Structure 1
C-alpha cells in the first residue's frame, strides 16, 4: 500500500511539473501605474478573521517543499487561505511576473551583497506589488515600504528633490542591511520577515511572551497584520513560482529592454533626457522613480545615477549635450522632516527662541592691547579680530571694540559641537529604533562608534551615540 501511495504521489508531481511550461507573454503596458505617484494604500495583506478549514493539501505542501531553499516555506491552513486569495488575482500577478524580470535581478544583487537568501525578494510582492510609488496609509513608501525613521536609520535620503525609498537600488541595499541585522538579532528568517513588518522590538516581546522562537508559536502575540504577513509571504512565493498551474499569464513589462546607468554631475530634466534619446518621458521616469521633481540634482561633489534604455550611437551627441547643460534653477536642498502619519498627528512643540548674543562696546584705554582686553572679557583674541574686522593686532586708545562675551567662537552665534551621548539599551531596543531617536544617526554609524560587528545588542548595554 505504501508503494502504491508513493507511486501515485510521484505521478501527481510529474503532472504538476508538466503544467509548468512557459506561457507566451501577452502584450500590455503598465507604465501608467509606475509613473503616476498618487498616495495609494498598499495594504496587500487581506485580513483573515477565520482561516479556511480546508485541511492540509498534500499537493500544495509538496509544491512548497520543492521550491524551499533557505527560508522555511511552511504549509498550513493560514498559508492555504492566502494562496486561495492570491490565485484569484490573476491580472495583478500577471503584471508582477512581468515586472519581476526587471526588478528581481536588482533585488538579488543587493541581497547577495549581504548574504541574504534570494527568496526575500518575494517580500516586495506583499509590500508594494512592485510599485515604486506605493504609499501606505501610515506613510511607508516605495518598493520595500520603508517608514521614514527606519529609512533614515539605514542611510536612505529624503529631501525636496529625492526620495531614495523609491529608488530600486538604494532601497534594496537598505532592505538587505535591515534583514542582515534582524536575522543576527532573532536567528530565524520567518522572525526576521515578521520584524520587517512590525519591528524587531515587537517580535522580541512576542518571543518573550510565548517562550519560543518559532513564528507559529509566537504568532498570537504579534500585531494582527504581522500574524498574517508571514503566511501571505509564503503564499506570494508559491503563486509567483506556480503561476502557470493557476492560469496566471505573465505580461510584458515596460522595461522589456536592456538599460545603461550614467553618472550625472549636473541638474538635468528627465524630459530632456527622454527627448534626446527618442523615448517617452514616462519611460525615463519609470526607470528613475526617486526623482520627485523629475529633475536629477547631480553635482560634482554628489553625483546622481540615471538609468536609461540602452540606446544607439546616433543619439549620443544629443544625450551628451543634455547631460552637460546645467539647468538654471533653485538648488537649495531641504531635508524632509517626516511623512510618518503617526508622527504628524502628534502636537508640534513650540519653537524655541534662539538667544541673541549680548553685545558690549569696549573703549580702548591707554596701554591696553588685544590680549589684555580678551583676558578681561574671557574671550579669544581671534574673536576680537573677527568681531571688529581687524587685520592686524594693533589698536589705539579711544578705539571702540564690539565684544560678545557669551559666545565661545568667532561667529556671531556659536555653532553646536558634536556631543557624545551614552545611551543605555532598554528592553526591546534595537539599533534601528535607537538610531531613529537621534538626528543624523544611522545603524552603520552606531556600529562604527561602538565597534559592533553585528546588530545584536543586550539590555543594559551602554552605547556611544554621536
Structure 2
C-alpha cells in the first residue's frame, strides 16, 4: 500500500551566481514560499543492492527494485549520510590494503602514499555526526594508525608526501640515533631572540635530523612560510608577543591549516576542540575555526601569552602547549627545577623532543645559509579581502562571483568544511582574492532566479524524532540541530516547523545527484582495483594475491564457518583480532555483510591455535559467556598484583587522550598502557581503563610535593623571605629567582592558581646562603 507523502514547502534563499552575462533581477522578498508536489520515484540503473549501515555492529544489504520511490522507502532504508560514510570507510580500507601490500613488497614510497590516503579519508569521515561511537570507524582508524606507526619504525626515511604526524613519529624514533659529530654551532651564529636557542646534544640532534633525513620537510616548511608568516607576524605583534613564536607552527602542523593529528587536534596551531573553544574557536558541521588561519593564529598567540603569564619561561610554555600545563607542574614538582633541560627526562617522549625541534627549525629558518637552505624559494604571501555573505551559498558560485576558482576559495577559507557558506550565519566574512571585492559585490547582486537554494520546511508529526526526520531527507542530525539552532536536549513539539536545507530543486533531485556521484566513485574504486590486480598478474614482483600482506608471520590460518546471527564484530572479539583484519583477510568491503555458511580465514597466534580451534567449535552462547568471563578476569588481573583498594576504573570520555588521563591521575602513560595491556596510545570513548590510585589523594603526588618542599627547607637554618610582587613578575620568575618550585610558592602562600598582583606579599622559604 503506497504511503501518503506530506506536502513539502520550500523556502527560497540565494545560492550564487553563474550565468554569463548576469541579468539584474527584480527585488524579491527575503524568503518566498511555494508548494511543490511529492518527488518522483528514483530510478536506479540496476537491481543491485546498496549497503545498509547499522551503527557499527555489522552491515547487511538492502536490495533495491528498479523503481523504488523515495516516499515509499521504509524507515530502515540507508540514508545518504550512511552511504557516504560507508564509502569513505571502504575507500580508506582500499588504501590501507594497498599500503600493507606495498610495504610487504618493500615499496616504501607507495606504502607511505597509501597510508596517508587512508588517513585522509578517515579524517574526512571524522566530521560525520557521532562517528566516535561507530565501531567500524574506530576499529579501522586504530588499525591504520597502529600499522603505520609500526611501518614508520622499519623504514629509513619518509617522503615529502608524509604528514607532519608521521614525521613526528619518525623523529621520536630516530632522534637518539642521529650522529652529531660534525655539527658545530659557533656562538656568533646564534641570532638574538626572546626564546633561548640553547645549543646542546639534544638540539644538535634535531638540527642534524633536519639537515639529513628531514631536509625535504624543512624545505617544504620554509617554502610555505612565505604564504602564512606575514599574517602571523602581524598578529603576534598586535598581541604584544615576539614574532619569532610563529616558528612553533612549523613542528606543530608543518604549516598545513587543515592538518588533523592522530589525537584529533586540528589546524595550523593544532588546537584540541575544548582548548580551541576556550579561545573562541567554534567548530560545527559547517565550519571549523581551528582551520581558520587568522583566528587560530590569534588564539594561539593568546594561549601562549596566558601560559607565559603562568610559567614565566618560553621553554616551559612550549612544553605546556604541547602536553598541557599539568605536565609542567608535575615535572617541576618531581625535579625541583624550572629548567626544561633538568626536567626533560620527566616528560613524555614527544614533549622531550619538542623544544629541541623548535630550536632546530628556528636556527635553520633564521640562518638558512649556514645550514645549506639558502636557495629555497618561499611561496607568495596570502593576499585577500573580506566580503560579507548573508545566505547559505554554494562555494563554486561564490568563486564565479569573485572571478576565481573553487580551489582558491577553499584555500582562502579552509575553515569551511562543506560545499557552502554556513546557514543561519548572517554576515559571514568570506575571503576572496585581493582586488575582487568590488566585482564580487556587483555579481552577487545579480544572482539569477535559477541559482537559488531551496530550503524545505517540515512540520513535526506525533512520534517523530530529529533522527527520523534527518534520515527522511538524507541529512545528518547535526545539520538539523545546527540550521534550526536547537540543542541536542531540545524536545520536538508536534506541529512545530523545522527548516530542511536542500541543495537542489527537490529532495529527489539532490538524492539522485548524490547517488550518481557515489556510483561514479564506486566505479572508479573498482576500476582502480582491477588495474592493480592486472598489474599484479603481469608483474613478477606482484604475483601474490592482494591479501597476502595480511598473512602475518607467527600466525596460522584457521577456517571458520559463519553461523546464523553472527557478525564480524562477534568473530573479531572471539578470536581476539581486529574486525578490519577479518575484512582484509577475506576481502569483505564495508557495506557487505557476512552470511550463515560463509567460510572465513582467521589468523591466530601459532602457539594458541588449538585454543582457538576449540573456541570455533563452541555455540554462540558459550562464546559470549567466554567473552564475559574473560573480560572480568582481564579487568581484575592487574589488581591481583596489589591491594584491590588501590585501583579504580576510568571510563574514557569523548575527546580524552592517554596524556590527559595520565595527567588527571598523576601517573605515567607507560603505566596505563602496561596496566591495561595497550599496544599503543589509541583509546576510544566508552573504553574502561584500570588506574592504580596510590598516586592520588595523599599518595605519590603529595609525597613528591612534600619532598620538594623539604629539599628547600633542608639544613639547620632555613630563611623566610617576604617578596613583594613587582610589575611584570610571574610565579615562574619568582620561583626561579629563589631557586624554589612554583608548587612550593603556591603551597607556602595557600594559592589555588598562578594569578598574582603587583604589591602582593609572598612568603618564600629557602636555605641560608
TM range, smaller chain: 0.5 to 0.7
The structure-2 alpha-carbon separation of the partners of 1:52 and 1:278, relative to structure 1 and needing over 3 Å to count, comes to same
Matched, 1:78 2:417: no
Report SS of the residue matched to 2:421. strand
Q: Choose the corresponding residue for 1:202, options 327, 352, 355.
A: 327
Give the whole-Å Cα distance in 1 for the aligned partners of 2:375 and 2:346.
38
What's the CA shift for 1:156?
A: 1.3
Partner SS state of residue 145, structure 1: coil
Within 5 Å, which residues of 2 pair with 1:277-426?
A: 277-297=402-422, 299=424, 303-311=427-435, 316-321=441-446, 327-329=453-455, 331-332=483-484, 345-347=684-686
Aligned to 2:288: 163
Moved more, 214-223 or 100-109: 100-109
- Aligned partner (choices 143, 151, 176) of residue 276 of structure 2: 151
Q: What does residue range 421-432 of structure 1 map to in structure 2 within 5 Å? A: none
SS at match of 1:73: coil
Q: Residue 654 of structure 2 contacts residue 685 of structure 2 at CA under 8 Å; is this kept in 1?
A: no
User: Residue by residue, what CA displacement relative to the aligned partner does 1:57-99 show, whole Å, maximum 9, x if unpaired?
Assistant: 5535432x2x232111111111111112112344433332232
In structure 2, what is the equivalent of residue 18 of structure 1? none
Match of 1:68 among 185, 189, 192: 192
Task: Name 1:110's counterpart in structure 2.
Answer: 235
Question: With structure 2 as the length reference, what TM-score do the two structures score?
Answer: 0.38
The alignment partner of 1:296 has SS state of coil
Give the whole-Å Cα distance in 2 for the aligned partners of 1:139 and 1:230: 22
Instruction: Give the Cα–Cα distance (whole angstroms) in 2 for the partners of residues 59 and 455 of structure 1.
Output: 32
What residue in structure 2 maps to residue 87 of structure 1?
Answer: 211
Kindly tell me: are residues 293 and 314 of structure 1, through their superposed partners in 2, closer, same or farther at Cα, counting changes over 3 Å? Answer: closer
Mapping 1:225-236, distance limit 5 Å: 225-236=350-361
In 2: Cα distance, 1:323 partner to 1:102 partner: 36
Determine the C-alpha separation between the residues in 2 that align with 1:74 and 1:160.
43
* Contact 1:194/1:226 (8 A) holds in 2: yes
RMSD: 3.6
Q: Provide the rounded CA distance (Å) in 2 between the counterparts of 1:50 and 1:462.
A: 39
- CA drift of 1:347 comes to 1.2
Residue 42 of structure 1, aligned match among 165, 170, 178: 165
SS in 1 for 2:176: coil
CA contact (8 A) 1:260 1:307 kept: yes
Greater mean alpha carbon deviation, residues 53-62 or residues 172-181: 53-62
> How many angstroms apart in 2 are the aligned matches of 1:256 and 1:173?
18
CA distance in 1, matches of 2:399, 2:278: 34
1:259 to 358, 366, 384: 384
Q: Distance in 2 between matches of 1:157 and 1:232?
A: 30
Q: 2:205 aligns to what SS in structure 1?
A: helix
| Inter-partner Cα distance in structure 2 for 1:335 and 1:44 | 39
Quick check: 1:51–1:77 contact (8 Å CA) kept in 2? no
Distance 1:228 1:328 in 2: 53
CA distance, structure 2, for counterparts of residue 214 and residue 152 of structure 1: 30
Instruction: Assess if the C-alpha contact under 8 Å between 1:259 and 1:307 holds in 2.
Output: yes
Cα offset, 1:176, TM superposition: 1.1
Greater strand proportion: 2
User: 1:59 is matched with which residue: 185, 200, 208?
Assistant: 185
Give the structure with the higher percent helix.
2
Q: CA deviation at 1:180?
A: 1.0
Aligned length: 324
Other structure's SS at 1:160 match:
coil
Following superposition, the deviation at residue 160 of structure 1 comes to 0.8
Counterpart CA distance in 1 for 2:448 and 2:221 is 33
Residues 341/189 of structure 1: CA separation in 2 closer, same or farther (3 Å cut): closer
Q: CA deviation at 1:210?
A: 1.3
Please say if 1:125 is aligned against 2:464: no
Displacement, 1:209?
1.2
- Give the deviation of 1:109 after TM superposition: 2.7
Partner SS, residue 267 of structure 2: coil
Secondary structure of 1:297's match? coil
1:179 and 1:192 in contact (8 A); partners too: yes
- 1:194-247 Cα deviation digits (max 9, x unpaired): 110000111111011111111111111111110100000111112222334414
For residues 217 and 252 of structure 1, do their structure 2 counterparts lie closer, same or farther at Cα, with a shift above 3 Å needed?
Answer: closer
* Residue of structure 2 in register with 1:96 after alignment: 221
Is the 8 Å Cα contact of residues 207 and 213 (structure 1) preserved in structure 2?
A: yes
User: Secondary structure in 2 aligned to 1:308?
Assistant: strand
Tell me the distance in 1 between the aligned counterparts of 2:300 and 2:310. Answer: 15
CA positional deviation for 1:170: 1.2
CA displacement at 1:266 relative to structure 2: 2.0
What TM-score, normalized by structure 1, do the two folds share? 0.61
Instruction: Give the equivalent residue in structure 1 for 2:265.
Output: 140
Summarize the alignment of residues 238-253 of structure 1 with structure 2, pairs less than 5 Å apart.
Answer: 238-245=363-370, 246-247=372-373, 249-251=375-377, 253=379
Instruction: Look up the match of 2:315.
Output: 190
